[in-house]
Amino acid sequence: MRRIILAFLAALALPTAAAAAEGTRVQVKGEIIDTWCYFSGVMGSPDAVVGSAHHTCALWCSAGGIPVGLLAEDGTVYMVLKVGDDAQAAGGDTLLKLAAHTVEADGMLYERDGLNYIVVSDVVSDLDITNKNHDDFGNVPAFSIPNPNK
């Protein structure tokens, strides 16, 4: 009986210990997004808060220190913590210049409590903005482009 209980407790402990520390090497292709607008819905639907429609707001959020994400083609969001030697993922210039761009990134993935965190070792390619969705959604939010008539 005692052995059964101990074995059960040991089995429970194993996944927790492994998940906290292990990283996995990954290559991800996707768009550099503003995660707050994407997750919160504060500016509209997920399709509207990416791409050219949301480029200016993505700049504001990145410069403002909101976590930047890498939205992969399968819909997975990776929270970017570092790019190359630049760990300034809260308002740094490296990620600011990539706002709304589609990139191919190589890095280490850390999964913890339902989120995917990525430490990017190398941006293998920067394909610029490929999601040209402003004709579908306009500029989001509408005040992101100052009205020239006012």
Partner 1 sequence: MMKPILAILTLAAAPLAAQDFSEGSEARSWNLYAEVPAKFEAKVVDLVCEFSGDCPTDCGAGKRQLGLVRTADDVLVLPMKNSQPAFTGAAVELQPFCGQTITVDGLMIDDPELGANNVYLVQSILAPGMEKKIKANQWTKAWAKEHPEAKGKGPWFRRDPAVKEIIATEGYLGLGLDVDETFIAENF
What is the contact surface with partner 1 in residues (CB under 8 A)?
1, 4-5, 8-9, 12, 23, 35-36, 38-42, 46, 52-53, 55-57, 59-61, 63-67, 75-77, 79, 81-82, 87-93, 96-97, 99-100, 108, 110, 112-117, 119, 128-129, 132, 134, 138-139, 144-149
- Counting other chains too, the contacts that 15-23 makes at CB distance below 8 Å and 24 or more residues apart are 19/111, 19/112, 20/112, 22/110, 23/108, 23/109, 23/110, 23/119
- Comparing CB distances to partner 1, the nearer of 24 and 125 is 24
3-state secondary structure of 41: coil
Instruction: Give 70-82 as a DSSP string.
Output: EEETTS-EEEEEE
- Give the up-direction half-sphere exposure of residue 70: CA atoms within 13 A in the CB hemisphere: 29
CB of 11 to partner 1, least distance (A): 10
- Comparing CB distances to partner 1, the nearer of 8 and 125 is 8
- Comparing CB distances to partner 1, the nearer of 115 and 125 is 115
Euclidean distance between CA atoms 52 and 104, whole angstroms:
18
- Comparing CB distances to partner 1, the nearer of 28 and 38 is 38
Residue 63, CA distances (Å) to 21, 57, 107, 130 in order: 30, 10, 23, 21
- Comparing CB distances to partner 1, the nearer of 28 and 67 is 67
CB of 124 to partner 1, least distance (A): 19
CB of 75 to partner 1, least distance (A): 8
CB of 26 to partner 1, least distance (A): 13
CB of 149 to partner 1, least distance (A): 6
What totals of helices (H) and strands (E) does the chain contain, helices first? Answer: 5, 5
